[in-house]
Chain A
Amino acid sequence: MKVNKELLKGNAQTLVLKSLQRQDMYGYQLAQEIKKSSAGAFELTEGTLYPILHALETDGAVECYWEEEGGRKRKYYRLTKAGKGLLKQKTAEWNEFRAALDLVLGGAKLEPEAL
Protein backbone atom coordinates (compact mmCIF):
# COMPACT_ATOMS: atom_id res chain seq x y z
CA MET A 1 0.00 0.00 0.00
CA LYS A 2 1.43 3.36 -0.99
CA VAL A 3 1.54 5.83 1.88
CA ASN A 4 -0.23 9.16 1.73
CA LYS A 5 2.11 11.80 0.32
CA GLU A 6 1.44 14.21 3.15
CA LEU A 7 2.67 11.70 5.71
CA LEU A 8 5.78 11.09 3.67
CA LYS A 9 6.53 14.79 3.29
CA GLY A 10 7.39 15.36 6.91
CA ASN A 11 9.56 12.26 7.17
CA ALA A 12 11.45 12.21 3.90
CA GLN A 13 14.51 13.63 5.62
CA THR A 14 14.46 10.78 8.15
CA LEU A 15 14.23 8.21 5.38
CA VAL A 16 17.22 9.73 3.63
CA LEU A 17 19.28 9.89 6.81
CA LYS A 18 18.45 6.34 7.77
CA SER A 19 19.39 5.03 4.33
CA LEU A 20 22.71 6.87 4.44
CA GLN A 21 23.38 5.44 7.86
CA ARG A 22 23.64 2.02 6.22
CA GLN A 23 26.00 3.12 3.45
CA ASP A 24 27.16 6.07 1.38
CA MET A 25 24.95 6.51 -1.68
CA TYR A 26 24.41 8.70 -4.70
CA GLY A 27 21.05 10.27 -5.46
CA TYR A 28 19.58 7.76 -7.88
CA GLN A 29 20.79 4.86 -5.76
CA LEU A 30 19.19 6.45 -2.69
CA ALA A 31 15.85 6.83 -4.41
CA GLN A 32 15.87 3.16 -5.41
CA GLU A 33 16.99 2.06 -1.96
CA ILE A 34 14.21 3.92 -0.15
CA LYS A 35 11.65 2.40 -2.47
CA LYS A 36 13.10 -1.08 -2.03
CA SER A 37 13.52 -1.02 1.74
CA SER A 38 9.96 0.22 2.23
CA ALA A 39 8.62 -2.55 0.01
CA GLY A 40 7.36 0.08 -2.37
CA ALA A 41 5.38 2.01 0.25
CA PHE A 42 7.64 5.04 -0.07
CA GLU A 43 8.55 6.33 -3.49
CA LEU A 44 10.26 9.64 -3.10
CA THR A 45 9.70 11.88 -6.08
CA GLU A 46 13.14 12.25 -7.52
CA GLY A 47 12.62 15.98 -7.77
CA THR A 48 12.15 16.07 -4.00
CA LEU A 49 15.21 14.05 -3.19
CA TYR A 50 17.90 16.41 -4.39
CA PRO A 51 16.71 19.51 -2.51
CA ILE A 52 16.56 17.34 0.62
CA LEU A 53 20.10 16.11 0.06
CA HIS A 54 21.39 19.61 -0.64
CA ALA A 55 19.67 21.01 2.44
CA LEU A 56 21.16 18.27 4.58
CA GLU A 57 24.56 19.08 3.14
CA THR A 58 24.10 22.79 3.83
CA ASP A 59 23.19 21.97 7.41
CA GLY A 60 26.22 19.73 7.82
CA ALA A 61 24.22 16.54 8.32
CA VAL A 62 25.75 14.95 5.24
CA GLU A 63 28.88 15.53 3.26
CA CYS A 64 29.57 14.57 -0.30
CA TYR A 65 32.31 13.34 -2.58
CA TRP A 66 32.59 12.47 -6.24
CA GLU A 67 33.47 9.08 -7.67
CA GLU A 68 33.86 8.08 -11.25
CA GLU A 69 32.80 4.68 -12.48
CA GLY A 70 32.54 3.56 -16.09
CA GLY A 71 33.08 7.11 -17.29
CA ARG A 72 30.19 8.40 -15.20
CA LYS A 73 30.80 10.80 -12.29
CA ARG A 74 28.45 10.37 -9.39
CA LYS A 75 28.04 12.49 -6.27
CA TYR A 76 27.99 10.30 -3.18
CA TYR A 77 26.51 11.39 0.12
CA ARG A 78 27.80 10.32 3.49
CA LEU A 79 26.25 10.79 6.89
CA THR A 80 28.26 13.03 9.22
CA LYS A 81 28.43 13.00 12.99
CA ALA A 82 25.93 15.86 13.01
CA GLY A 83 23.71 13.83 10.71
CA LYS A 84 23.82 10.88 13.06
CA GLY A 85 22.74 13.15 15.86
CA LEU A 86 19.93 14.52 13.74
CA LEU A 87 18.79 11.02 12.81
CA LYS A 88 18.77 10.09 16.50
CA GLN A 89 16.66 13.14 17.25
CA LYS A 90 14.26 12.49 14.37
CA THR A 91 13.88 8.85 15.37
CA ALA A 92 13.13 9.84 18.95
CA GLU A 93 10.57 12.38 17.75
CA TRP A 94 8.93 9.79 15.54
CA ASN A 95 8.78 7.21 18.35
CA GLU A 96 7.21 9.75 20.66
CA PHE A 97 4.69 10.75 18.03
CA ARG A 98 3.86 7.18 17.16
CA ALA A 99 3.35 6.23 20.80
CA ALA A 100 1.09 9.20 21.39
CA LEU A 101 -0.88 8.44 18.21
CA ASP A 102 -1.23 4.81 19.21
CA LEU A 103 -2.55 6.03 22.53
CA VAL A 104 -5.23 8.08 20.86
CA LEU A 105 -6.15 5.54 18.21
CA GLY A 106 -5.92 2.39 20.25
CA GLY A 107 -6.58 3.65 23.77
CA ALA A 108 -3.37 1.90 24.89
CA LYS A 109 -1.84 2.84 28.22
CA LEU A 110 1.16 5.06 27.86
CA GLU A 111 4.20 3.13 29.05
CA PRO A 112 7.57 4.80 29.53
CA GLU A 113 9.13 2.17 27.26
CA ALA A 114 6.86 3.24 24.42
CA LEU A 115 8.70 6.55 24.32
Chain B
Amino acid sequence: MSAPRIVEFLAIVADQIRSPALRRSTEEELSSHLADSVDDLKGRGVPEEEAVELAVLKLGDPRALGQKIRRANRPNYLRFSFLAVAGLAFGLPAALGGTLLLEQSIRSHLEERSRDKDRYRQAFLEDQKLLSENEFFGRVSPNEHDAGPFLNPKIVWEQSPQQSAPWPELEFSREASKVFWQERRLGRTWLQIDPNRFARVNTAWMSELSRFDHWDLLSGPVNPMNTHVAQGKGPFSVPMPKYNDLNDFVRVRLLQGLGSGKMLPALKDVRQLARLVYTSETLISSMVAVGMLNLERSAYEEALRRNLLRKGEWAPISAELSARARRSLYDFQVWLDLVNAPEQAEAILQAPHAPGGLCGALSELGNSAWFTRSFLEPRVPLESDHSAWLAKLDQLLHHTPGCRLTLAKAYWNSPPHAEEEMAFVFSSDPVQLFWNFGYFYGANIPYLRRVVWFHSLGYTQMRASQYERSLEPGRELSGK
Protein backbone atom coordinates (compact mmCIF):
# COMPACT_ATOMS: atom_id res chain seq x y z
CA MET B 1 0.00 0.00 0.00
CA SER B 2 1.53 3.26 -1.09
CA ALA B 3 -0.36 5.91 0.87
CA PRO B 4 2.30 8.38 2.14
CA ARG B 5 1.14 8.00 5.73
CA ILE B 6 1.62 4.26 5.52
CA VAL B 7 4.96 4.55 3.76
CA GLU B 8 6.15 6.90 6.50
CA PHE B 9 4.89 4.58 9.24
CA LEU B 10 6.60 1.53 7.72
CA ALA B 11 9.85 3.42 7.25
CA ILE B 12 9.99 4.29 10.96
CA VAL B 13 9.28 0.67 11.92
CA ALA B 14 11.95 -0.57 9.51
CA ASP B 15 14.53 1.87 10.91
CA GLN B 16 14.43 0.00 14.23
CA ILE B 17 15.31 -3.31 12.62
CA ARG B 18 18.91 -4.07 11.65
CA SER B 19 18.47 -7.33 9.82
CA PRO B 20 17.74 -6.60 6.14
CA ALA B 21 15.69 -9.77 5.70
CA LEU B 22 13.65 -9.14 8.82
CA ARG B 23 13.18 -5.54 7.80
CA ARG B 24 11.82 -6.57 4.40
CA SER B 25 9.47 -9.24 5.72
CA THR B 26 8.17 -6.96 8.49
CA GLU B 27 7.44 -4.18 6.04
CA GLU B 28 5.58 -6.60 3.82
CA GLU B 29 3.64 -8.10 6.70
CA LEU B 30 2.61 -4.77 8.18
CA SER B 31 1.82 -3.35 4.75
CA SER B 32 -0.70 -6.09 4.07
CA HIS B 33 -2.05 -5.71 7.61
CA LEU B 34 -2.66 -2.03 7.03
CA ALA B 35 -4.22 -2.71 3.63
CA ASP B 36 -6.63 -5.21 5.22
CA SER B 37 -7.41 -2.78 8.01
CA VAL B 38 -8.08 0.08 5.58
CA ASP B 39 -10.32 -2.14 3.45
CA ASP B 40 -12.25 -3.19 6.53
CA LEU B 41 -12.78 0.42 7.64
CA LYS B 42 -13.75 1.57 4.17
CA GLY B 43 -16.25 -1.29 4.07
CA ARG B 44 -17.84 0.25 7.14
CA GLY B 45 -18.16 3.58 5.39
CA VAL B 46 -15.03 5.32 6.67
CA PRO B 47 -13.50 7.64 4.02
CA GLU B 48 -10.15 6.46 2.65
CA GLU B 49 -7.92 9.12 4.16
CA GLU B 50 -9.48 8.69 7.58
CA ALA B 51 -9.33 4.88 7.24
CA VAL B 52 -5.59 5.07 6.56
CA GLU B 53 -5.03 7.28 9.58
CA LEU B 54 -7.11 5.00 11.82
CA ALA B 55 -5.40 1.85 10.57
CA VAL B 56 -1.98 3.35 11.31
CA LEU B 57 -3.06 4.56 14.76
CA LYS B 58 -4.30 1.11 15.66
CA LEU B 59 -0.81 -0.28 15.20
CA GLY B 60 0.53 2.17 17.75
CA ASP B 61 3.89 3.89 17.94
CA PRO B 62 5.99 2.72 14.95
CA ARG B 63 9.29 3.16 16.78
CA ALA B 64 8.16 1.03 19.71
CA LEU B 65 6.64 -1.54 17.38
CA GLY B 66 9.87 -1.86 15.38
CA GLN B 67 11.93 -2.21 18.56
CA LYS B 68 9.60 -4.85 19.96
CA ILE B 69 9.73 -6.82 16.73
CA ARG B 70 13.51 -6.60 16.71
CA ARG B 71 13.69 -7.85 20.30
CA ALA B 72 11.16 -10.59 19.63
CA ASN B 73 13.46 -12.03 16.98
CA ARG B 74 16.26 -12.52 19.45
CA PRO B 75 16.27 -15.79 21.45
CA ASN B 76 15.15 -15.86 25.04
CA TYR B 77 18.53 -15.76 26.77
CA LEU B 78 17.06 -16.52 30.15
CA ARG B 79 15.68 -19.73 28.81
CA PHE B 80 18.98 -20.47 27.09
CA SER B 81 20.76 -19.94 30.39
CA PHE B 82 18.36 -22.35 32.04
CA LEU B 83 19.06 -24.90 29.34
CA ALA B 84 22.79 -24.38 29.73
CA VAL B 85 22.56 -24.98 33.47
CA ALA B 86 20.34 -28.00 32.92
CA GLY B 87 22.86 -29.18 30.38
CA LEU B 88 25.53 -29.37 33.04
CA ALA B 89 23.40 -31.87 34.91
CA PHE B 90 21.83 -33.66 32.02
CA GLY B 91 24.41 -33.28 29.33
CA LEU B 92 23.69 -33.50 25.68
CA PRO B 93 19.89 -33.19 25.42
CA ALA B 94 19.78 -29.85 27.21
CA ALA B 95 22.77 -28.72 25.19
CA LEU B 96 20.91 -29.65 22.06
CA GLY B 97 17.92 -27.63 23.25
CA GLY B 98 20.23 -24.72 23.89
CA THR B 99 21.80 -25.08 20.49
CA LEU B 100 18.38 -24.75 18.90
CA LEU B 101 18.00 -21.34 20.46
CA LEU B 102 21.56 -20.46 19.59
CA GLU B 103 20.98 -21.54 16.04
CA GLN B 104 17.94 -19.27 15.83
CA SER B 105 20.09 -16.35 16.90
CA ILE B 106 22.72 -17.40 14.42
CA ARG B 107 20.08 -17.35 11.72
CA SER B 108 19.29 -13.67 12.18
CA HIS B 109 22.98 -12.79 12.32
CA LEU B 110 23.65 -14.78 9.18
CA GLU B 111 21.26 -12.63 7.24
CA GLU B 112 23.11 -9.54 8.35
CA ARG B 113 26.56 -10.86 7.79
CA SER B 114 26.21 -12.58 4.42
CA ARG B 115 29.09 -10.54 3.09
CA ASP B 116 31.33 -11.88 5.87
CA LYS B 117 30.19 -15.40 5.13
CA ASP B 118 31.33 -15.02 1.56
CA ARG B 119 34.72 -13.82 2.74
CA TYR B 120 34.89 -16.73 5.15
CA ARG B 121 34.03 -19.20 2.46
CA GLN B 122 36.67 -17.77 0.12
CA ALA B 123 39.28 -17.92 2.85
CA PHE B 124 38.30 -21.49 3.66
CA LEU B 125 38.52 -22.51 0.00
CA GLU B 126 41.92 -20.87 -0.29
CA ASP B 127 43.09 -22.86 2.73
CA GLN B 128 41.91 -26.08 1.13
CA LYS B 129 43.76 -25.28 -2.10
CA LEU B 130 47.04 -24.51 -0.35
CA LEU B 131 46.79 -27.56 1.88
CA SER B 132 46.01 -29.89 -1.00
CA GLU B 133 49.11 -28.60 -2.85
CA ASN B 134 51.38 -29.33 0.10
CA GLU B 135 53.27 -32.60 0.16
CA PHE B 136 52.36 -33.39 3.78
CA PHE B 137 48.68 -32.44 3.83
CA GLY B 138 47.76 -33.18 0.27
CA ARG B 139 49.62 -36.45 -0.24
CA VAL B 140 47.37 -39.46 -0.70
CA SER B 141 48.71 -42.48 1.12
CA PRO B 142 48.93 -45.73 -0.88
CA ASN B 143 47.60 -47.43 2.29
CA GLU B 144 49.77 -50.48 1.78
CA HIS B 145 51.78 -50.60 4.99
CA ASP B 146 49.72 -50.06 8.10
CA ALA B 147 51.46 -48.97 11.29
CA GLY B 148 48.42 -50.10 13.31
CA PRO B 149 49.57 -53.65 14.14
CA PHE B 150 52.91 -52.18 15.21
CA LEU B 151 51.73 -49.16 17.19
CA ASN B 152 48.27 -50.06 18.51
CA PRO B 153 49.48 -52.76 20.93
CA LYS B 154 52.29 -50.55 22.23
CA ILE B 155 50.62 -47.21 22.93
CA VAL B 156 48.58 -46.09 25.90
CA TRP B 157 44.87 -45.75 25.16
CA GLU B 158 42.92 -43.05 26.93
CA GLN B 159 39.23 -43.41 27.91
CA SER B 160 39.69 -47.16 27.94
CA PRO B 161 39.13 -49.51 30.88
CA GLN B 162 41.73 -51.86 29.42
CA GLN B 163 44.94 -51.35 27.52
CA SER B 164 46.41 -53.30 24.66
CA ALA B 165 49.21 -54.52 26.93
CA PRO B 166 49.59 -54.51 30.72
CA TRP B 167 52.68 -52.30 30.46
CA PRO B 168 52.42 -50.36 27.25
CA GLU B 169 55.84 -50.09 25.71
CA LEU B 170 55.27 -46.56 24.49
CA GLU B 171 54.10 -45.08 27.75
CA PHE B 172 56.07 -41.96 28.48
CA SER B 173 57.26 -42.22 32.02
CA ARG B 174 55.94 -39.89 34.65
CA GLU B 175 59.46 -39.21 35.75
CA ALA B 176 60.38 -37.95 32.31
CA SER B 177 57.16 -35.90 31.97
CA LYS B 178 58.04 -34.13 35.21
CA VAL B 179 61.11 -32.71 33.55
CA PHE B 180 58.93 -30.89 31.02
CA TRP B 181 56.54 -29.68 33.73
CA GLN B 182 59.38 -28.35 35.83
CA GLU B 183 60.91 -26.42 32.97
CA ARG B 184 57.53 -25.02 31.98
CA ARG B 185 56.87 -23.85 35.53
CA LEU B 186 60.20 -22.09 35.45
CA GLY B 187 59.16 -20.33 32.24
CA ARG B 188 61.83 -22.02 30.15
CA THR B 189 61.36 -23.40 26.68
CA TRP B 190 61.66 -27.16 26.25
CA LEU B 191 64.32 -26.57 23.59
CA GLN B 192 66.82 -25.61 26.27
CA ILE B 193 66.43 -28.83 28.28
CA ASP B 194 69.53 -31.02 28.49
CA PRO B 195 68.65 -34.20 26.57
CA ASN B 196 70.69 -36.24 29.06
CA ARG B 197 67.81 -35.79 31.46
CA PHE B 198 65.89 -38.17 29.20
CA ALA B 199 68.62 -40.81 29.00
CA ARG B 200 66.15 -43.53 29.99
CA VAL B 201 63.59 -42.64 27.32
CA ASN B 202 63.72 -45.04 24.39
CA THR B 203 63.01 -43.40 21.04
CA ALA B 204 64.56 -46.09 18.84
CA TRP B 205 61.07 -47.29 17.88
CA MET B 206 60.53 -44.06 15.96
CA SER B 207 63.10 -45.00 13.34
CA GLU B 208 61.11 -48.19 12.65
CA LEU B 209 58.13 -46.13 11.50
CA SER B 210 59.69 -45.33 8.14
CA ARG B 211 58.39 -48.61 6.69
CA PHE B 212 54.73 -47.59 7.17
CA ASP B 213 52.60 -45.29 5.05
CA HIS B 214 49.50 -44.91 7.23
CA TRP B 215 48.14 -45.71 10.68
CA ASP B 216 44.75 -47.38 11.13
CA LEU B 217 43.66 -47.03 14.73
CA LEU B 218 41.23 -49.91 14.36
CA SER B 219 43.68 -52.50 13.12
CA GLY B 220 45.54 -55.13 15.11
CA PRO B 221 44.39 -58.11 17.17
CA VAL B 222 43.96 -56.31 20.49
CA ASN B 223 42.46 -52.88 20.26
CA PRO B 224 40.40 -50.97 22.81
CA MET B 225 38.96 -48.79 20.03
CA ASN B 226 37.74 -51.83 18.09
CA THR B 227 36.21 -53.32 21.19
CA HIS B 228 34.44 -50.08 21.97
CA VAL B 229 32.94 -49.78 18.48
CA ALA B 230 31.96 -53.46 18.39
CA GLN B 231 30.10 -53.02 21.67
CA GLY B 232 27.94 -50.37 20.03
CA LYS B 233 29.26 -47.55 22.21
CA GLY B 234 29.27 -44.05 20.83
CA PRO B 235 32.07 -42.06 19.21
CA PHE B 236 32.13 -39.44 21.96
CA SER B 237 33.68 -41.88 24.40
CA VAL B 238 35.82 -43.92 22.00
CA PRO B 239 39.31 -44.74 23.34
CA MET B 240 42.02 -42.68 21.72
CA PRO B 241 45.81 -42.89 21.77
CA LYS B 242 47.38 -40.90 24.54
CA TYR B 243 48.76 -38.20 22.30
CA ASN B 244 50.39 -36.32 25.15
CA ASP B 245 52.82 -39.22 25.46
CA LEU B 246 53.54 -39.21 21.74
CA ASN B 247 54.17 -35.46 21.86
CA ASP B 248 56.64 -35.95 24.69
CA PHE B 249 58.44 -38.63 22.68
CA VAL B 250 58.65 -36.12 19.82
CA ARG B 251 60.22 -33.49 22.05
CA VAL B 252 62.75 -35.95 23.42
CA ARG B 253 63.68 -37.16 19.93
CA LEU B 254 64.25 -33.61 18.76
CA LEU B 255 66.28 -32.80 21.86
CA GLN B 256 68.38 -35.88 21.19
CA GLY B 257 69.03 -34.53 17.70
CA LEU B 258 70.02 -31.14 19.07
CA GLY B 259 72.21 -32.74 21.74
CA SER B 260 74.01 -35.13 19.39
CA GLY B 261 74.22 -32.76 16.46
CA LYS B 262 72.48 -35.38 14.29
CA MET B 263 69.48 -33.29 13.52
CA LEU B 264 68.33 -34.65 10.18
CA PRO B 265 67.51 -38.19 11.38
CA ALA B 266 65.60 -36.70 14.31
CA LEU B 267 63.60 -34.42 12.03
CA LYS B 268 62.83 -37.32 9.68
CA ASP B 269 61.63 -39.51 12.54
CA VAL B 270 59.35 -36.80 13.85
CA ARG B 271 58.00 -35.95 10.42
CA GLN B 272 57.17 -39.60 9.82
CA LEU B 273 55.37 -39.95 13.16
CA ALA B 274 53.43 -36.77 12.45
CA ARG B 275 52.47 -38.13 9.06
CA LEU B 276 51.24 -41.42 10.53
CA VAL B 277 49.29 -39.61 13.23
CA TYR B 278 47.71 -37.45 10.53
CA THR B 279 46.71 -40.50 8.50
CA SER B 280 44.89 -42.03 11.46
CA GLU B 281 42.08 -39.72 10.36
CA THR B 282 40.46 -38.42 13.48
CA LEU B 283 40.01 -34.75 14.15
CA ILE B 284 42.10 -34.94 17.30
CA SER B 285 44.93 -36.84 15.62
CA SER B 286 44.96 -34.34 12.75
CA MET B 287 45.28 -31.48 15.24
CA VAL B 288 48.02 -33.36 17.11
CA ALA B 289 49.91 -33.94 13.87
CA VAL B 290 49.85 -30.20 13.16
CA GLY B 291 51.16 -29.64 16.67
CA MET B 292 53.99 -32.11 16.04
CA LEU B 293 54.90 -30.23 12.87
CA ASN B 294 55.10 -27.05 14.91
CA LEU B 295 57.46 -28.75 17.37
CA GLU B 296 59.54 -29.95 14.42
CA ARG B 297 59.75 -26.42 13.01
CA SER B 298 60.80 -24.98 16.38
CA ALA B 299 63.58 -27.55 16.70
CA TYR B 300 64.72 -26.87 13.12
CA GLU B 301 64.99 -23.16 13.84
CA GLU B 302 66.93 -23.93 17.02
CA ALA B 303 69.25 -26.17 15.03
CA LEU B 304 69.88 -23.32 12.57
CA ARG B 305 70.74 -21.04 15.47
CA ARG B 306 73.23 -23.58 16.78
CA ASN B 307 74.69 -24.11 13.29
CA LEU B 308 73.74 -27.76 13.38
CA LEU B 309 71.99 -27.42 10.04
CA ARG B 310 72.28 -25.24 6.96
CA LYS B 311 69.21 -23.49 5.67
CA GLY B 312 67.59 -25.58 2.96
CA GLU B 313 68.77 -28.89 4.38
CA TRP B 314 65.30 -29.39 5.74
CA ALA B 315 61.94 -27.93 4.73
CA PRO B 316 59.67 -27.53 7.74
CA ILE B 317 55.96 -26.91 7.29
CA SER B 318 55.58 -23.16 7.45
CA ALA B 319 53.85 -21.50 10.37
CA GLU B 320 51.29 -20.06 7.99
CA LEU B 321 50.37 -23.40 6.43
CA SER B 322 50.21 -24.99 9.84
CA ALA B 323 47.82 -22.27 10.99
CA ARG B 324 45.66 -22.78 7.91
CA ALA B 325 45.49 -26.52 8.59
CA ARG B 326 44.59 -25.97 12.20
CA ARG B 327 41.80 -23.54 11.54
CA SER B 328 40.43 -25.65 8.67
CA LEU B 329 40.27 -28.67 10.92
CA TYR B 330 38.56 -26.69 13.63
CA ASP B 331 35.92 -25.48 11.18
CA PHE B 332 35.01 -28.91 9.86
CA GLN B 333 31.34 -28.08 9.99
CA VAL B 334 31.67 -25.78 7.02
CA TRP B 335 32.36 -28.69 4.75
CA LEU B 336 28.75 -29.36 4.22
CA ASP B 337 28.01 -25.70 4.73
CA LEU B 338 25.99 -26.41 7.78
CA VAL B 339 25.41 -22.76 8.36
CA ASN B 340 25.02 -21.65 4.78
CA ALA B 341 22.60 -22.69 2.08
CA PRO B 342 22.88 -26.10 0.39
CA GLU B 343 23.82 -24.61 -2.98
CA GLN B 344 26.78 -22.93 -1.32
CA ALA B 345 27.80 -26.28 0.15
CA GLU B 346 27.79 -27.66 -3.35
CA ALA B 347 30.27 -24.98 -4.42
CA ILE B 348 32.68 -26.04 -1.69
CA LEU B 349 32.36 -29.72 -2.50
CA GLN B 350 32.90 -29.15 -6.20
CA ALA B 351 36.00 -27.01 -5.78
CA PRO B 352 38.86 -28.14 -8.04
CA HIS B 353 40.77 -29.56 -5.09
CA ALA B 354 39.03 -32.37 -3.24
CA PRO B 355 39.10 -32.08 0.54
CA GLY B 356 41.17 -35.22 0.82
CA GLY B 357 43.71 -33.56 3.06
CA LEU B 358 41.18 -33.13 5.83
CA CYS B 359 40.07 -36.71 6.34
CA GLY B 360 40.15 -36.28 10.11
CA ALA B 361 37.65 -33.46 9.88
CA LEU B 362 35.37 -35.49 7.63
CA SER B 363 35.57 -38.36 10.09
CA GLU B 364 34.46 -36.06 12.90
CA LEU B 365 31.58 -34.80 10.80
CA GLY B 366 30.50 -38.36 10.10
CA ASN B 367 30.60 -39.32 13.76
CA SER B 368 28.61 -36.26 14.77
CA ALA B 369 26.00 -36.89 12.09
CA TRP B 370 25.80 -40.56 13.04
CA PHE B 371 24.96 -39.55 16.58
CA THR B 372 22.29 -37.11 15.43
CA ARG B 373 20.80 -39.59 13.05
CA SER B 374 20.57 -42.37 15.61
CA PHE B 375 19.34 -39.96 18.22
CA LEU B 376 16.56 -38.53 16.16
CA GLU B 377 15.62 -40.93 13.39
CA PRO B 378 13.41 -43.24 15.43
CA ARG B 379 11.49 -40.29 16.80
CA VAL B 380 10.84 -37.67 14.18
CA PRO B 381 10.36 -37.81 10.43
CA LEU B 382 13.40 -36.33 8.77
CA GLU B 383 12.88 -33.24 6.66
CA SER B 384 13.65 -33.77 3.00
CA ASP B 385 16.68 -31.47 2.99
CA HIS B 386 18.11 -33.33 5.95
CA SER B 387 17.75 -36.63 4.14
CA ALA B 388 19.56 -35.14 1.14
CA TRP B 389 22.29 -33.90 3.46
CA LEU B 390 22.70 -37.35 4.97
CA ALA B 391 22.91 -38.83 1.48
CA LYS B 392 25.62 -36.34 0.57
CA LEU B 393 27.56 -37.14 3.70
CA ASP B 394 27.18 -40.85 3.01
CA GLN B 395 28.73 -40.27 -0.40
CA LEU B 396 31.62 -38.31 1.11
CA LEU B 397 32.33 -40.93 3.74
CA HIS B 398 32.46 -43.72 1.19
CA HIS B 399 33.93 -41.99 -1.85
CA THR B 400 36.33 -39.21 -0.86
CA PRO B 401 39.65 -39.94 -2.59
CA GLY B 402 42.55 -40.38 -0.22
CA CYS B 403 40.43 -40.92 2.89
CA ARG B 404 39.97 -44.37 4.39
CA LEU B 405 37.65 -43.19 7.18
CA THR B 406 37.55 -46.65 8.73
CA LEU B 407 36.37 -45.34 12.11
CA ALA B 408 33.72 -43.04 10.66
CA LYS B 409 32.44 -45.77 8.33
CA ALA B 410 32.39 -48.30 11.16
CA TYR B 411 30.00 -46.02 13.03
CA TRP B 412 28.08 -44.82 10.02
CA ASN B 413 27.25 -48.34 8.92
CA SER B 414 26.43 -49.58 12.40
CA PRO B 415 23.12 -49.64 14.24
CA PRO B 416 22.20 -46.87 16.70
CA HIS B 417 23.47 -46.47 20.22
CA ALA B 418 23.53 -49.30 22.70
CA GLU B 419 20.49 -49.10 24.94
CA GLU B 420 22.34 -48.05 28.06
CA GLU B 421 23.52 -44.88 26.38
CA MET B 422 20.00 -44.14 25.17
CA ALA B 423 18.79 -44.61 28.73
CA PHE B 424 21.24 -42.02 29.90
CA VAL B 425 19.85 -39.55 27.42
CA PHE B 426 16.18 -40.15 28.11
CA SER B 427 15.89 -41.25 31.68
CA SER B 428 15.75 -37.82 33.30
CA ASP B 429 12.46 -35.98 33.63
CA PRO B 430 13.72 -32.62 32.43
CA VAL B 431 14.93 -34.32 29.26
CA GLN B 432 11.51 -35.85 28.74
CA LEU B 433 10.07 -32.40 29.29
CA PHE B 434 12.13 -31.01 26.46
CA TRP B 435 11.07 -33.90 24.31
CA ASN B 436 7.41 -33.54 25.13
CA PHE B 437 7.55 -29.90 24.19
CA GLY B 438 8.77 -31.01 20.82
CA TYR B 439 12.08 -29.19 20.81
CA PHE B 440 13.42 -31.89 18.58
CA TYR B 441 10.65 -31.85 16.03
CA GLY B 442 11.53 -32.33 12.39
CA ALA B 443 11.96 -28.74 11.27
CA ASN B 444 14.69 -28.22 13.84
CA ILE B 445 16.85 -31.02 12.49
CA PRO B 446 18.61 -28.82 9.94
CA TYR B 447 19.77 -26.69 12.85
CA LEU B 448 20.58 -29.60 15.12
CA ARG B 449 22.86 -31.14 12.58
CA ARG B 450 24.81 -27.94 12.46
CA VAL B 451 25.74 -27.89 16.09
CA VAL B 452 25.71 -31.44 17.30
CA TRP B 453 29.00 -31.21 19.13
CA PHE B 454 28.78 -29.29 22.36
CA HIS B 455 31.98 -27.45 21.53
CA SER B 456 30.41 -26.36 18.28
CA LEU B 457 28.30 -23.95 20.26
CA GLY B 458 31.13 -21.52 19.80
CA TYR B 459 30.76 -21.56 16.05
CA THR B 460 28.99 -18.48 14.75
CA GLN B 461 29.22 -16.34 11.73
CA MET B 462 31.75 -14.19 13.59
CA ARG B 463 34.28 -16.79 12.47
CA ALA B 464 34.25 -15.00 9.12
CA SER B 465 36.30 -12.07 10.32
CA GLN B 466 38.15 -14.15 12.91
CA TYR B 467 39.17 -16.61 10.21
CA GLU B 468 40.83 -13.93 8.18
CA ARG B 469 42.42 -12.21 11.15
CA SER B 470 43.93 -15.48 12.38
CA LEU B 471 46.56 -15.33 9.66
CA GLU B 472 47.59 -11.73 10.23
CA PRO B 473 51.31 -11.23 10.84
CA GLY B 474 52.21 -11.07 14.47
CA ARG B 475 49.39 -13.33 15.60
CA GLU B 476 50.63 -15.93 18.03
CA LEU B 477 50.54 -19.44 16.65
CA SER B 478 49.78 -22.44 18.80
CA GLY B 479 51.95 -25.49 19.15
CA LYS B 480 55.29 -23.72 19.54
Contacts and interface: CB of A to CB of B under 8 A. Distances in A.
B73 A63 contact: no
A-B CB proximity, top 4 nearest? A47-B60, A81-B438, A54-B72, A51-B68
A12 interface: no
A7 to B, nearest CB: 20
Contact of A63 (B33, B59, B443): B443
A85 interface: yes
B25 interface: yes
A21 interface: no
Interface string A53-93: 01101111001000000001111000011101110010000
Give chain B's interface secondary structure class: helix
Contact of B64 (A29, A47, A55, A81): A47
Interface in B31-60: 32-33, 35-37, 58-60
B28 interface: yes
Interface in A88-103: 89
A19 to B, nearest CB: 16
A40 B68 CA distance: 25
A37 B193 CA distance: 82
A28 B72 CA distance: 18
Contacts of A81: 438, 441
10 contacts: A28-B36, A46-B58, A47-B58, A47-B60, A51-B68, A54-B69, A55-B72, A59-B75, A60-B438, A81-B438
B319 interface: no
B104 interface: yes
B100 interface: yes
B17 to A, nearest CB: 10
Contact of B74 (A27, A58, A63, A80): A58
A27, A28, A48, A59: most-surrounded residue (chain B CB, <10 A): A28
A58 B104 contact: yes
Contacts of A58: 72-76, 104
A10 B128 CA distance: 53
A54 to B, nearest CB: 4
B79 to A, nearest CB: 8
B29 A51 contact: no
Contacts of B60: 45-48
Nearest to B33: A28
Interface in A22-49: 26-29, 45-48
Contact of A80 (B71, B72, B443): B443
Contact of B441 (A48, A72, A73, A80): A80
B72 A51 contact: yes
Interface string B4-48: 000000000000000000000110111011011100000000000
A50 B29 contact: yes
Contact of B65 (A50, A60, A63): A50
A26 B37 CA distance: 12
B37 A73 contact: no
B444 interface: yes
B30 A50 contact: yes
Interface in B404-460: 436-439, 441, 443-444
Contacts of A28: 32-33, 36-37
Given A28-B37, A58-B75, A80-B443, A51 B65 contact: yes
Nearest to B55: A46
B61 interface: yes
Contacts of A89: 437
B441 A82 contact: yes
Nearest to A27: B33
Contacts of B443: 60, 63, 80
Contact of B437 (A46, A48, A75, A85): A85
A5 to B, nearest CB: 13
Given A46-B59, A80-B438, A60 B100 contact: yes
A81 B435 CA distance: 10
Contacts of B437: 82, 85-86, 89
Contacts of A48: 60
A72 B39 CA distance: 12
